């Protein structure tokens, strides 16, 4: 499969297959370059929660907002607690988490909307970014899937919620799995694998982990998320998976590779206002 995330500027990669099919969508993943933050957050850190100077993070977000043409006060960012809860957001939530950490959508790792003129954002430094789009319903969403969110099946929760509350057929939903840590770089202990085995079975496909020579395990979070999404009803051909590893690719921050003190990238998705509408 061709890599679906294409670098279009210093500051971000675009999910090009979706953009080509749906020009009104703004969707991608930021890099670590083109900002003003200093080490160890250099330079386009978009996380307000990592110890960087707040004013630098706001400047970085404003620079990205200018490129994406959706103003920062129209961004909506979730708190992210490594859980499996999601929430619908709307115009009334615009600006949540954009400039103040305390104003983020509380206790949620997934957010979605059907409204235009908003940019949903989620923050990363190895965890798996999940993107959702139901073109026929103009529904977009993001979910943050570290290992805890993955075993909570946050991706499947989005699909089932859209089916129950928005009447969206799972087979019509497009999903993308963004840049995140690779199986080769992600070693976990047996405690994590025990949690994985609560949601994974051979009926889902290839085992998403391997035991290494140290008696620990190499976990493939991208594969596990894809399997759980298929189990929720998403068609395999509608799931795009990035090959990029945040622990080895120079464009990205990595919590694990950089010893826990680093910046954050942002996954983002939005629908630009229709003709005649304005911000």
Total domains in the chain come to 1
Dihedral angle over CA of 200, 28, 133, 23, nearest 10: -150
Sign of CA dihedral 141, 161, 180, 16: negative
Domain membership of residue 76 (yes or no) is yes
| pLDDT tens digit at each of 279 positions of the chain | 799 999 999 999 999 999 999 999 999 999 999 999 999 999 999 999 999 999 999 999 999 999 999 999 999 999 999 999 999 999 999 999 999 999 999 999 999 999 999 999 999 999 999 999 999 999 999 999 999 999 999 999 999 999 999 999 999 999 999 999 999 999 999 999 999 999 999 999 999 999 999 999 999 999 999 999 999 999 999 999 999 999 999 999 999 999 999 999 999 999 997 654 555
Whichever domain contains 103, its CATH number is 3.60.140.10
Torsion of CA 208, 211, 217, 222, to 10 degrees: -20
CB contact at 8 A, 47 and 72: no
Residue 41: inside a domain: yes
Within 187-270, where are the H helices?
190-196, 221-231
pLDDT of residue 5: 98
188 domain-assigned: no
Distances (CA, A) of 58 to 53, 61, 71, 200, 214: 9, 5, 12, 40, 43
Dihedral sign, Cα of residue 73, residue 28, residue 91, residue 116? positive
- What predicted TM-score, i.e. pTM, was given to this entire model? 0.97
- Three-class SS of residue 192? helix
Q: Is residue 187 part of a domain?
A: no
Helix (H, G, I), strand (E, B) or coil at 268: strand
- Domain-embedded: residue 231: no
For residue 278, the model assigns a pLDDT of 57
Domain-embedded: residue 223: no
Does 162 map to a domain?
yes
State the pLDDT at residue 163: 98
What b/e sequence results for 197-214 when a residue is b if at least 16 CB atoms lie within 10 Å of its CB, and e otherwise?
eebbeeebeeebbeeeee
Q: What is the predicted pLDDT for the residue at 275?
A: 59
CA 180 – CA 178 distance, rounded (Å): 6
Q: What is the span of the domain harbouring residue 249?
A: 5-181+239-271
CB atoms within 10 A of CB 164: 9
């Amino acid at each position: 499969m061709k890599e679906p995330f294409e670098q279009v500027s210093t500051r971000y990669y675009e999910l090009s297959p979706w953009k080509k099919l749906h020009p009104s969508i703004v969707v991608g993943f930021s890099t670590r370059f083109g900002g003003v933050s200093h080490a160890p957050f250099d330079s386009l850190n978009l996380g307000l929660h990592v110890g960087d100077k707040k004013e630098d993070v706001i400047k970085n977000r404003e620079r990205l907002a200018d490129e994406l043409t959706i103003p920062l006060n129209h961004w909506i960012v979730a708190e992210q607690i490594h859980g499996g809860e999601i929430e619908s957001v709307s115009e009334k939530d615009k600006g949540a988490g954009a400039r103040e950490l305390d104003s983020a959508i509380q206790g949620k790792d997934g957010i979605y909307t059907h409204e235009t003129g908003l940019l949903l954002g989620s923050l990363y430094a190895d965890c798996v970014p999940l993107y959702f789009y139901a073109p026929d319903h103009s529904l977009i969403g993001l979910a943050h899937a570290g290992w805890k969110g993955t075993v909570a099946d946050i991706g499947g929760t989005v699909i089932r919620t859209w089916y129950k509350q928005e009447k969206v057929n799972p087979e019509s939903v497009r999903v993308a799995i963004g840049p995140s840590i690779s199986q080769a770089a992600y070693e976990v202990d047996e405690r994590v694998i025990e949690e994985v085995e609560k949601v994974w079975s051979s009926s889902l496909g290839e085992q998403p982990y391997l035991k290494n020579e140290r008696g620990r395990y190499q976990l493939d979070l991208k594969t596990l998320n894809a399997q759980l999404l298929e189990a929720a009803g998403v068609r395999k051909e509608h799931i795009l998976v990035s090959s990029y590893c945040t622990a080895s690719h120079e464009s990205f921050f990595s919590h694990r590779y950089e010893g826990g003190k680093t910046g954050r990238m942002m996954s983002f998705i939005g629908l630009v206002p229709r003709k005649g509408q304005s911000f």
